[in-house]
Amino acid sequence: MKLFQLTTANWPALAGLAGADDALLLRQDAVHLLRQAMPVPAQVYVLAQDLAARGLDCPPAVTAIDDSGWVQLCIEAEQVILCHN
């Protein structure tokens, strides 16, 4: 599994490389991407504290995690890729 981490509300082309076995983590301002339809085959995660800070709710298809969940994702990933514009 590759873990793609997005930190901005811009959808980078690199994140489009995520496959069904990969994970996509929305952090910081990237949580605003939840307002858009994202055609991503990967499992989508979001940091709960970033959602709360921006007053957003977590959609049912997305998994909200805390910092320890984030660390666990990084440990499980074969590769961690930070995507930011």
Q: Which domains, and CATH codes, for the chain?
A: 2-83 (3.40.1260.10)
Q: What is the pLDDT confidence band of residue 39, given thresholds at 50, 70 and 90? A: confident
Distance CA 58, CA 60 (A): 6
The predicted pLDDT at position 14 comes to: 64
Half-sphere exposure of 44 (CA within 13 A, CB side): 19
The average confidence (pLDDT) of the chain is: 89
| Cβ atoms of residues 40 and 22 within 8 Å | no
Confirm if 23 and 42 have CB atoms less than 8 A apart. yes
Model confidence pLDDT, tens digit, residues 44-84: 999 999 999 999 999 998 999 999 999 999 999 999 998 87
pLDDT recorded at residue 12:
67
* pLDDT band at residue 18 using 50, 70 and 90 as cut-offs: confident
